[in-house]
Structure 1
Amino acid sequence: MSAQQVGTSRGSRWVRATANWWLPTIPLARVAVFRVLVYSFVIVDILKFLTDVIPHGYQIELYQPVLIGRVLPFPEPSVGYAIFLQWSIIIACIVAMTGYLPRISGFAVAVLFLAWLENSQGFSYVQHDHMALVLATWVLPTVGRARFYDERSSQAAGWALRMVQVATIATYFGSVFSKIASNGWSFIAWPNSSVFTWAFMRRGSDLITWTLNYPWLLKSAQWGLYIVEVLSPVVLFLRGRWLYLAVGFFFLFHFATYLSLGIHFLPTVMCWFAFLPLEKIPYALRRTVNRFQAAR
């Protein structure tokens, strides 16, 4: 075999490997379960966390739309428009969770939820913890019909969840560049700063304020978080037990952050489920129900 043929063969293998990574074949049942988690949380999100959209209708003079709000023809804030958005999102999410008309109902959720977020962020702080969740609402409808016990495998399903995975990791890895840019493009300024001290003094609970007596511990924690964010893309290439350990670590990290500072980051936490074999849940629930019925 000539050198040119060897190079072509290697190039073909690289292309196939790349395509297989972006288009993995996964069970459609995994999408069916993940779809329920995402659309359920969107309802909780607009009713519990992003509750400022309706009040914004009374303060339209403060509205300064973000870029996407200036590019897309979203209506200006009003109370009536916000109430319409809220009920439309809830209805569309319920329909999308059932799997009925998955593309129509799913894209309806995507457009309406984006409009809700644009309104919310157009008045104040832009919350980057919603990036993966917003992307999930846009890619899930592309899969089409998926049932809880659907044993068929699909590359369309694999691509959709891969995109959610990438967006989830980008939330952490992207924050590294934000930390660098906001500190004069220094790679070590943020982990050597006193940001944890400031945060714990400002809003720390009794579970964490004791660390203020140990500056070296706070500095070590900052470096630890910084290194985790830098290395976060590694999670995209983990498999099996190592992947589950990594997902569990991030779950515990956000749980500890909530207990310590009251910061939940739940929109991103929900997207971590895209890494897990969710298709096993319906079968596990059915076995549990059958055992309970047999015991009676």
Structure 2
Amino acid sequence: MSGWLTEAVPRGRVAAFRTLVYLFVAADLVVFTPWVRARVDVPGELYHPLLIGRLLPLPTPTPALVGLLFWALLVLALLAATGRAPRLLGWTVFALYFEWMVVAMSYGKVDHDRVGLLVALAALPTAGRARHGDATRTEAGGWALRVTQIAVICTYFLAAWAKFRFGGLDWATGSVLARAIIRRGTELADLVAQVPHLLIVAQFGILAFELLSPVVFVLPERWRLATVGFFYSFHLVTVATITISFAPHLAAMTSFLPLEKVRPVVWARRLLARGGQPAVPDDAAAPPTALTGPEPAVGPATP
């Protein structure tokens, strides 16, 4: 079991995952959760912190506190994406983002798509230094990726458990997707809803998919990557029909992928190098042709 948890991976994969995760944190602040800064304008008595916020205890957010949190986290996440000071910056970004999430989720709604990302932020500082393109393998980096993968799959499996806990089998036979389509459905969802019994079949399919998600760990690598591709396609359909993105979850799920093979900086350098080379005429590239006939005479010409 310990060998599976710490299965060594290329350091380049850890470096790529680290850069992606920290860049997502920066994007999350300005794209997905900028509304957190507006929530602190409501009266303080409406703030009911999560259990962890009550145990620590964390302060009631104010505009000044959340503003400082926003800018500090944005700057430090971008710095952490460079791979420098992985432990110092990593632990700091985790602590600040954790507080950002406590503030965000303490006003009555808790999103479960953040679990994998939070685990990734907590695990990455333990992976140590890693450079892009480094093929040497690391068990510490493998552990950081593995626990993130476990958190991603637990998000699916425990979602199915919650459905049975609160809705029972009625969740699959009820009108869950129909209500979601009425609230936030797209034109594509309206077309899907017109097919008789398709939504009920889809609800049973979602339950089966979530319950069987741990199987991904026992599949051969080729099939594991294909299964992860199916996970992404599931979320693509979700966005296209009921506009729920699960973006943090999708970022954490890249821990399954061979990210060391994706090197945009190297690709960009190659493209620039090709663009900077002078054009070679077609005839210049052709090999010299052999001369035919007798060689010309050497010496003064005779009359």
Q: TM-score, normalised by structure 1?
A: 0.89
Q: CA deviation at 1:223?
A: 0.8
Q: Is 1:55 aligned with 2:35? A: no
Gaps of 5+ in 2: 278-303
Deviations 1:28-63 (A, max 9, x none): 111100011101111111112212322232222210
Q: CA deviation at 1:262?
A: 1.1
Does the C-alpha gap of structure 1 residues 53 and 198 become closer, same or farther in structure 2, counting only changes over 3 Å? closer
Deviations 1:116-160 (A, max 9, x none): 000010112000000100111110001111110222211100100
Residue of structure 1 equivalent to 2:89: 105
Deviations 1:49-104 (A, max 9, x none): 21232223222221000101111232211000001000111121122111111100
Aligned ranges 1:1-296 → 2 under 5 Å: 18-59=1-42, 60-183=44-167, 186=168, 188-282=169-263, 286=266, 289-290=269-270, 292-294=272-274, 296=277
Distance 1:285 1:93 in 2: 19
Amino acid across the alignment from 1:190 = W
Deviations 1:207-263 (A, max 9, x none): 111233334111111111110001000112223221121111111111111111111
SS in 1 for 2:266: helix
Amino acid across the alignment from 2:273 = Q
Aligned residue pairs total 275
SS in 1 for 2:81: helix
Question: Conserved in 1, the CA contact under 8 Å of 2:47 and 2:107?
Answer: yes
Amino acid across the alignment from 1:85 = L
Amino acid across the alignment from 1:27 = P
Amino acid across the alignment from 1:293 = A
Question: Conserved in 2, the CA contact under 8 Å of 1:131 and 1:167?
Answer: yes
Q: TM-score, normalised by structure 2?
A: 0.87
Distance 1:54 1:205 in 2: 28
Percentage identity across paired residues of the two chains: 37
Amino acid across the alignment from 1:238 = L
Q: CA deviation at 1:173?
A: 0.4
Question: Conserved in 1, the CA contact under 8 Å of 2:22 and 2:78?
Answer: yes
Question: Conserved in 2, the CA contact under 8 Å of 1:169 and 1:232?
Answer: yes
Please, which moves more after superposition, 238-247 or 137-146? 238-247
Distance 1:211 1:32 in 2: 41
Which structure has greater helix proportion? Answer: 1
Does the C-alpha gap of structure 1 residues 280 and 262 become closer, same or farther in structure 2, counting only changes over 3 Å? same
Q: CA deviation at 1:287?
A: 5.2
Q: CA deviation at 1:291?
A: 5.4
Amino acid across the alignment from 1:54 = R
Distance 1:286 1:66 in 2: 44
Amino acid across the alignment from 2:211 = V
Question: Conserved in 2, the CA contact under 8 Å of 1:56 and 1:78?
Answer: no
Question: Conserved in 2, the CA contact under 8 Å of 1:56 and 1:77?
Answer: no
Gaps of 5+ in 1: 1-17
Question: Conserved in 1, the CA contact under 8 Å of 2:19 and 2:83?
Answer: no
Does the C-alpha gap of structure 1 residues 50 and 201 become closer, same or farther in structure 2, counting only changes over 3 Å? same
Amino acid across the alignment from 1:240 = E
Amino acid across the alignment from 2:151 = A
Amino acid across the alignment from 2:15 = A
Distance 1:117 1:38 in 2: 15
Q: Which has the larger radius of gyration?
A: 2
